[in-house]
Amino acid sequence: MSQSVFNLVADIGGTNIRLGIARANGEVNEITVYQCRDFDSLQAVVEHYLADNHISDSKINACFAIACPVENDLIQMTNLPWQFSKSELKEQLNLNKLLVINDYTAIAYAVPFLTEQQKVQIGAGEAQSGKPISICGPGTGLGVANVVSVAGKWIALSGEGGHVDFAPIDETEVKIFEYLSQKYAHVSYEQLLSGLGIEQIYQALVSIKGVDLPELSASEISEKALSNECSVCLETLEQFCKILGSFAGNLALTLASFGGVYIAGGIVPRFIEFFNQSEFRSRFESKGRLAQFNQNIPTFVITESQPGILGASAYLRQHNKEEL
């Protein structure tokens, strides 16, 4: 009797690790979330999951999306004291196949397969089938990736686009840039479009206005803005949305992203209604002679809570097809 084959996928962050079993249709079932701090290594948590699901002795193809560079055999996690050799881990877990990809590469592979229920469109524009797609994700940092269709399959193009130079658009942003220039030799978009970025926009506005306000976390700033409790917090969130619009519009111009520009990460989905009414879309389109170019490109917020694990499933599924 032939041995059962299981496709194991994982999304590994600095705090949580999500593991699941991918089906042929792309669905991921038996998803379990573990706290990374409860385990000494990636091997330990994977072995625990395999035992819990009674598949330790099965033939397993695996794809792990992980929040760190993955080019070398030795993987050293950025926000965890975990490190492992890809080749050794494959042997230790007795895997038939092990693919390791960056977490934003995984999100890029997930995006072409998102349903209408897994995203919300912001503004006008209509996605063109098979055209390039760009993704940016304000969260702990600012992740950026692109995905293009080549010969009937999707290819992710990853990079460090969140660290490109911040380009202020108006007088307020020039003052914010000047404030941050006193702290950093290089002011990147990540310094404004991340959790830390929200805090730094707030700090800059407090300094510019010369008001006496307490230091606040990104979540506190957002809460006070949404409840209209603090005018500086409200201006901070408005400024965040505008800057994100300018940045997303730059991505659209760079790659001609007629498949759409997608906002990932954990920040924006918390205030989608506010975001939809903000100047995000007008900034996205405000590109001078190329305004009409961007007006035709749609923008979306990803609301799916597990894009990384879905992307690992899509990547593994495509890789398996290539071997047939």
Residue ranges at the known binding site for ATP: 10-15
Residue pair 312/101 in contact (Cβ under 8 Å)? The answer is yes
Strand order in the sheet with 59-66: 28-35, 16-22, 5-12, 59-66, 97-102
Structure tokens at 45: 């948590």
Compute the C-alpha angle 215/220/221, nearest 5°.
75
Residue pair 61/7 in contact (Cβ under 8 Å)? The answer is yes
- CA 80 from chain center: how many Å? 19
Residue pair 80/41 in contact (Cβ under 8 Å)? The answer is no
What does DSSP assign to residue 264?
-
State how beta strands 142-150 and 97-102 pair. unpaired
- CA 250 from chain center: how many Å? 17
